[in-house]
Structure 1
Amino acid sequence: MTHRIAILGASGYTGAELVRLIATHPEMEIVALSADRKAGQDMAEVFPFLRHLTLPKLVKIEEIDFSQVDLAFCALPHATTQKVVAALPKDLKIVDLSADFRLRDVADYEKWYGQPHFAPELQPEAVYGLTEFYREEIRNARLVAGTGCNAATGQYALRPLISAGVIDLDRIVLDLKAGVSGAGRSLKENLLHAELSEGTHSYSAGGKHRHLGEFDQEFSKLAGRPVHVQFTPHLMPFNRGILMTVYVDGDPAVIHQTLADAYKDETFIQVLPFGALPSTRDVRGSNFCHIGVTGDRVPGRATIVAVLDNLTKGSSGQALQNANLMLGIEETTGLMLAPVFP
């Protein structure tokens, strides 16, 4: 059976990544692509790397006949998706890649995103899209809210440890390095080559980053009490990838074994041998997440390093993994591409 797919917001990085992945998917066909400013253009004009594919022309969302669509990916900017999703058919399966349905409490959404939730009636049915931990809920969902790429990386490193109670929940530090594509495709002065290359800088430090809302929500739910991590992201002069270094108090050997046990049956999560640490080069262009653990010169402290590709496992690959579950397709279909190296 071939499932008919629409991608809303196909002119952005995550939209293009969805096209790249679905192009070789044996059970999906892209029947509609939307864009705003680039409506009327061919995808080959917007993304020349896709010119070998036969794809629908980019159109406005209101021009799409959703009666001919089985599932829609919403790769739209934050703060626009809620209104769009609310206007779509109520029986349409949707995977949202924005932040608009990630936070279960609409008051938390307003706190972190600075505006009211525009579709509060839909929030209760939205399932948080961290596939490995919400698999069954996603399988039965109509609306799945993709995670933040930074939030996903930190959760892969920490969720099993919080659940097992093997780390000090009041002493968790997350230091993140992220590639430029995570900021989207919009023209921004600070992302110009001359402004960004040959250097790096932190941003949203001091507890201001929006993905802290997801960390608070998910970690506190796991622990059964408030958990507030310390988190500082840094923008790096490379295109793809996230590297999260996590500092925790706990027995390094126990931490490593806990992660290895938790992910031993997970195709896309690879825990390295103790003492080995991963690189963003190891996962580029793939749906894999690699995790390494090492000890510290001070007993009882450990360092965890997790890497993933922000556009694939952190966003579009995760979205496709979830869509596979929602459509009754084998979860790994279309996602077993090896990382691109060098």
Structure 2
Amino acid sequence: MTYKIAILGASGYTGAELIRLIATHPEIEIAALGANAKAGQSMASVFPHLRHLDLPDLVKADDIDFSQIDLCFCALPHKTSQEVIRELPKDLRIVDLSADFRLRDPAAYEKWYGNPHAAVEMQKEAVYGLTEFYRDDIANARLVAGTGCNAATGQYALRPLISAGVIDLDNIIMDLKCAVSGAGRSLKENLLHAELSEGYHAYSAGGTHRHLGEFDQEFSLLAGRPVQVQFTPHLIPANRGILATVYVHGNAQQIHETLSAAYAAEPFLQVLPFGELPSTRHIRGSNFCHLGVVADRIENRAIVVAALDNLTKGSSGQALQNANVMLGIEETTGLMLAPCFP
């Protein structure tokens, strides 16, 4: 069986990444591409690297016949996404890549994103889209909320450790480096090559980054009590990739064994041999996440490092993985492509 899908926000980075991944998927057909600002243009003119594909032209979302669509990916900015999704057919299955349905508490959403939620009833039905931990719920969901790319990286490093109780929950420090594509495709002065290249900088320090809402929600749920991590992201002059270095109190060997056992059957989560550390260059363009553990020189302290591609495993690859689960397709279909190196 072939499923027909639509992508809203197809002119952005995550939309283009979805198209790249789905292009060779044997059971999914791209039937409609929405992008209001670039409606009427071809994908070849917007993204020349996709010119070899036979794709529909971009249209406004209102011009898509959703009665012919089995599943819709929404790769729109937050706030816009909830306003669009609430108007879509109530029986349409949706994978949302924005932040709009990640947080279960409407008050938490307003706190972190600065505006009241416009689709609170839908927010209640949304399933959090971290596939490896919510796949049973995702399989039966109508609306799946993709995670933040930073939030996914940190959770892969920490969720099994919190569940197993092998680290001190009050002493978690996360230092995260993220590539510039995570900021989206919109023109921004601070992302110009002349201003971004040849250096990197911390931002949203001191507990102001929006993805902390996801860490608070998910880690506290796992622990059964409030858990807050100390988190500082840094913007690096690279196109793709996230590297999270997480400092924890606990036995490093036990931490490594816990992660290895938790992810032994997971096709996309690969724990490196003890003492080896991952690199973003080894997961580029793929749906894999590599994790490494080393012992610190200070007794009973360890360092966990996680690397993934923010556009693939952190966003569009995760979205396709969730869509496979929702449609009853083998979860890895279309996603086993090898990383691009060098």
SS at match of 1:305: strand
- Opposite residue 298 of structure 1, the aligned amino acid is I
In the alignment, does 2:32 pair up with 1:32? Answer: yes
TM superposition shift of 1:230 = 0.2
**1:133-159 residue CA offsets vs partner (Å, 9 max, x unmatched):** 001000000000000000000000000
In the alignment, does 2:138 pair up with 1:138? Answer: yes
Q: Distance in 2 between matches of 1:126 and 1:140?
A: 11
What is the aligned length? 342
TM superposition shift of 1:36 = 1.8
Q: Distance in 1 between matches of 2:252 and 2:121?
A: 44
Give 1:197's aligned residue: 197
Give 2:12's aligned residue: 12
Give 1:239's aligned residue: 239
Q: Which portions of structure 1, spanning 4 or more consecutive aligned residues, are displaced by more than 3 angstroms?
A: none
TM superposition shift of 1:13 = 0.1
In the alignment, does 2:279 pair up with 1:279? Answer: yes
**1:310-331 residue CA offsets vs partner (Å, 9 max, x unmatched):** 0000000000000000001000
SS at match of 2:186: coil
Give 2:334's aligned residue: 334
In the alignment, does 2:246 pair up with 1:266? Answer: no
Give 1:72's aligned residue: 72
SS at match of 2:209: coil
Q: Distance in 2 between matches of 1:114 and 1:24?
A: 39
**1:93-130 residue CA offsets vs partner (Å, 9 max, x unmatched):** 00000000000001100000000000001111100000
Aligned 1:302-317 pairs, distance under 5 A: 302-317=302-317
Q: Distance in 2 between matches of 1:137 and 1:8?
A: 24
SS at match of 1:37: helix
TM superposition shift of 1:306 = 0.1
Give 2:179's aligned residue: 179
TM superposition shift of 1:41 = 0.2
Normalised by the length of structure 1, the TM-score is: 1.00
Q: Distance in 1 between matches of 2:124 and 2:104?
A: 7
- Opposite residue 180 of structure 1, the aligned amino acid is V
Q: Distance in 2 between matches of 1:36 and 1:187?
A: 17
Aligned 1:144-223 pairs, distance under 5 A: 144-223=144-223
RMSD: 0.3
SS at match of 1:195: helix
**1:197-245 residue CA offsets vs partner (Å, 9 max, x unmatched):** 0000000000000000000000000000000000000000000000000
Q: Distance in 2 between matches of 1:280 and 1:140?
A: 33
TM superposition shift of 1:83 = 1.1
Identity of aligned residues (%): 78
Range with bigger deviation, 78-87 or 203-212: 78-87
Q: Distance in 2 between matches of 1:67 and 1:113?
A: 32
Q: Distance in 1 between matches of 2:291 and 2:124?
A: 32
Q: Distance in 2 between matches of 1:74 and 1:103?
A: 17
TM superposition shift of 1:56 = 0.4
Q: Distance in 2 between matches of 1:220 and 1:102?
A: 15
SS at match of 1:294: strand
Give 1:117's aligned residue: 117
Q: Distance in 1 between matches of 2:122 and 2:78?
A: 16
Q: Distance in 2 between matches of 1:76 and 1:297?
A: 45
Structure 2 unpaired stretches of 5+: none
Normalised by the length of structure 2, the TM-score is: 1.00
Give 2:58's aligned residue: 58
SS at match of 1:122: helix
Give 1:299's aligned residue: 299
Q: Distance in 2 between matches of 1:208 and 1:335?
A: 33
Structure 1 unpaired stretches of 5+: none
TM superposition shift of 1:76 = 0.3
